[in-house]
Amino acid sequence: MKTLKATKADHQIQACINEQQSFYVIAGAGSGKTTSLISALDNIRNQHGKHLRREAQRIVCVTYTKRAVAVISSRLGWDDLYIISTLHGFLWSEIKRFTPSIRKALQEKIIPGRIAKQRADDDGGKSKKALTARTKAEQLAQDLLGLASVPSFTYNDSNFSNYLQGEIGHEDVIDVAAYMIAASPQLRKIMGQKYPYIFVDEAQDTQENVVEALNMLCQNPGLPIIGYFGDPMQQIYDKRAGDFKGPADSMRIPKEENFRCSVNVINLLNAFRKDIQQFPAGKNADIEGSVILRLIQTDKPGAPRGRYTPEQIESASYKLDDAMAQWGWKGKEKIKHLYLVRQMIARRLGFSDLHNLFTGDYASTRAQDDYENGEHYLLKPFIVCLYPLVKASRAKDGRGMIDILRQNSPAFDPKGKNASRPLIEMRKRVDTIISDLNEMWDAKTVEDILRYFRKNDLYPASKRLVESLDRNRREEPFDVEKHALEKGDWLADALFDMGLEEIATYCEFIDDNTEFSTQHGVKGEEYESVLVVIDDVGSAWNNYSFAKTLTPKSAGGEPTDRQRRLSNNLAYVCFSRAEKDLRIVMYSQNAAAAKLELLEKKLFTAAQIEVA
Ligand SMILES: Nc1ncnc2c1ncn2[C@@H]1O[C@H](COP(=O)(O)OP(=O)(O)OP(=O)(O)O)[C@@H](O)[C@H]1O
């Protein structure tokens, strides 16, 4: 492992570990939180590894993404002394054996809570919101009644729970686990004995109830202890413990170094937040770097739902190319593009039709969110299994294809129904499937491929997917009001008719194989040159309003508190990825006034702002 000079915070963390005291590290971007976390994990192994292994105890590190899990695991040599896992994965593995307790948590707390939330949205009237909430509350009440006869539960790794099928989705796993840990001293004791050291990375994005439950687990003097690492300003999800803290008597450990960014980028970060002022603490102190903000004047969006027309997108894109050319960034390597403007990413990468479908009239907010996160039930089979399979086959990666099938396909599950079939027969099947798939991929539709996969039992077909494939096509013309609750059918029908070309680029984008990223995908990453493109219009959500947050006067009003927090935090996360040069493009309907406002706020210097 690369050893870096220990910082003051590293010494404080070590002292906490020696004293068996919980702690929480609060520090800005690029301050080496993840680095300190990994070195603390390594130090515990050096000091106590033998003893822990003898006692069959393990060190836990939960982190935010599967990618972070891989990075931390590899830095520690894939040692099974550690459990390095996403929060969902870890919590589920701890509770999954306790079926009666899971059922009890759902019955006593989780489902009643969800019903109450729906009821609060139902004013008894006939509005779409009230009707949807009523239907959902009724469905949940049915689920509650039927729960007693559900024999067991599985985690279905999606946003949806299907209680009567015993399937629990992401949000429920978190809530059920937090409830069970908080409610059961026995469970806390079992976990505490197994895991004397528990670390949480990206603590600001951990759910509040989980922080509370873990703090209860570690509230007594001595082991187990918990160590959180995070930055309140990098909280980019809702309902999370932004201002997290350890249990009572835990130690707050600040870090003011920045080892990543150039001097100019750090100056911007310091102007952006007042709670932490960083200084360049490593080789970066010698790198001046550069920051340029280009404000591009745009017109009011001309398309329905406050979106750009194709001509406007064309023009916005052209002006962006222009800026890149003038900075000498056109064709330059090692640039990471961070766009909040999905419409533009989709256009540039070539999946506009898919994007328009999932942000158009047939898409509920949930469908849109799921599409953006790569979680939609109709797209996930492609992301997880189908497209990777085609890709592996085109790369002639036989081993990769078999791995994908073994991990995803019931027909190839090493413990499944075909486990005892001769290897040679299974190999032949793989060959047939791959050749069929390759043939179909260029010529057939989404529906054809999904049907083929279902027929051959290649992907676990969720109930919703099966229902969509089995249902008759919707023949009647779509009516926004009348079909509000069933619009997903029209969405599915339109998707079924699409070819696979756009799906392929979408999958590449979601898998982070393009130079484009959404800002959410770059947490924890760093790149030499970063281009951030921000535009409230293309974002198509109400979550953010960059114009109102950064330039309220020229944008015609203040953002909501929530918009301000999310916009500021997301901008901070993006800006702080740059090691050397940062370029920001912001579309504005009042560019000249926006410039004056930004200068007044001293966020940028006059030399750093261009108006085009
Ligand atoms: N003590 C150190 N000495 C020199 N370089 C360091 C040190 N600690 C971290 N770094 C380097 O600084 C960069 C940022 O570190 P790291 O990713 O751990 O920061 P972070 O606080 O987790 O960042 P963020 O919150 O922005 O994702 C990395 O390139 C890392 O190698």
| 85 CB within 6 A, ligand 1 | no
What lies within 8 Å, CB to CB, of 592 at 6+ separation is 297, 611
Ligand 1 pocket residue status of 223, Cβ below 6 Å: no
Q: Ligand 1 centre from 259 Cα, in Å?
A: 6
Q: Is the CB of 524 under 6 A from ligand 1?
A: yes
190 Cβ neighbours under 8 A, 6+ residues apart? none
Ligand 1 neighbourhood includes 285 CB (under 6 angstroms): no
Of residues 148, 59, 57, 139, the one with CA closest to residue 100? 148
Distance of CA 368 to the CA centre of its chain: 14
Q: Which amino acid is at 2?
A: K
| Residue of 59, 36, 35 lying closest to 47 (CA atoms) | 59
Q: Is the CB of 9 under 6 A from ligand 1?
A: no
Q: How far is the CA of 32 from the centre of ligand 1 (A)?
A: 3
- What pLDDT does 315 receive? 87
pLDDT value at position 370? 85
DSSP 306: T
- Residue closest by Cα to atom 13 of ligand 1: 260
pLDDT tens-place string over residues 254-275: 999 999 999 999 999 999 998 9
**Which structure tokens are listed for 115?**
């019903």
Task: Measure the CA–CA gap between 62 and 372, rounded to whole angstroms.
Answer: 24
602 lines ligand 1 (CB under 6 A): no
Rg (Cα) of the chain, in Å, rounded? Answer: 26
Q: Determine the Cα–Cα distance for residues 393 and 388; give it in Å rounded to an integer.
A: 8
Residue 198 to residue 217: CA distance in whole angstroms:
10
Nearest CA to ligand 1 atom 30: 32
**Four-point Cα dihedral 595, 596, 601, 602, nearest 10:** 70
Tokens of 75: 């830095």
What spacing in Å lies between the alpha carbon of 546 and ligand 1's midpoint? 27
Establish whether residue 280 lines the binding site of ligand 1, counting it when its CB lies within 6 angstroms of any ligand atom: no
Q: Is 162 exposed, middle or buried (0-12, 13-18, 19+ CB in 10 A)?
A: middle
Q: What is the pLDDT of residue 540?
A: 47
Cα-to-centroid distance, 31 and ligand 1 (Å)? 5
* Listed residue (352, 373, 318) closest to 505, CA to CA: 352
Annotated binding site: 27-34
Q: Are 66 and 383 spatial neighbours (Cβ–Cβ below 8 Å)?
A: no
Query: Is 65 a pocket residue for ligand 1 (Cβ < 6 Å)?
Result: no
Report whether residue 35 contacts ligand 1, using a CB cutoff of 6 Å.
yes
Q: What is the pLDDT of residue 19?
A: 97
- Asked if ipTM goes beyond 0.90, one says yes
- Which mutation among 5, 25, 35 tests ligand 1's pocket best, with the greatest number of atoms within 8 A of CB? 35
| Cα–Cα dist 296/153, whole Å | 52
First to last CA, the chain: 47
Question: What DSSP line would sit under 419-445, residue for residue?
Answer: TTS-HHHHHHHHHHHHHHHHHHHHHS-
Is the CB of 5 inside a 6 Å radius of any atom of ligand 1? yes
CA 608 to chain CA centroid, Å, is: 32
* Residue 526 DSSP symbol: -
In terms of DSSP bridges, do strands 527-534 and 335-339 run parallel, antiparallel, or are they unpaired? parallel
User: Across-strand partners of 254?
Assistant: 26
> How many other CB atoms sit within 10 Å of the CB of residue 413?
16
Output the CA 35–ligand 1 centroid distance in Å: 6
- Type of residue at 153: F
Q: Is there an atom of ligand 1 within 6 Å of 64 CB?
A: no
Q: What is the pLDDT of residue 109?
A: 95
Question: Residue 385 in 3-state DSSP?
Answer: helix
Give 261 Cα–ligand 1 centroid separation in angstroms.
Answer: 10
Strand, helix or coil at 463?
Answer: helix
> Residue 228 pairs with which residues in a beta bridge?
24, 200
SS (H, E, C) 57-103: CCEEEEECCHHHHHHHHHHCCCCCCEEEEEHHHHHHHHHCCCHHHHH
- Which residues, given as ranges, of the chain have pLDDT below 50? 540
**Category of 77 on φ-ψ map: left (φ > 0), alpha (ψ -120 to 50) or beta:** left
Question: H-helix or E-strand containing 408?
Answer: helix 398-408
Task: Supply the residue whose CA is at minimum distance from atom 7 of ligand 1.
Answer: 32
Distance from residue 197's CA to the centre of ligand 1 (Å)? 22
Q: Verify whether ligand 1 is closer than 6 Å to residue 231 (CB atom).
A: yes
* Residues contributing to the annotated binding site for ATP: 27-34
CA dist., res. 344 & res. 337, Å (int): 11
Question: How far is it, in rounded angstroms, from Cα 302 to Cα 313?
Answer: 10
Q: Which of 259, 526, 527 to mutate to test the pocket of ligand 1 (most atoms within 8 A of CB)?
A: 259
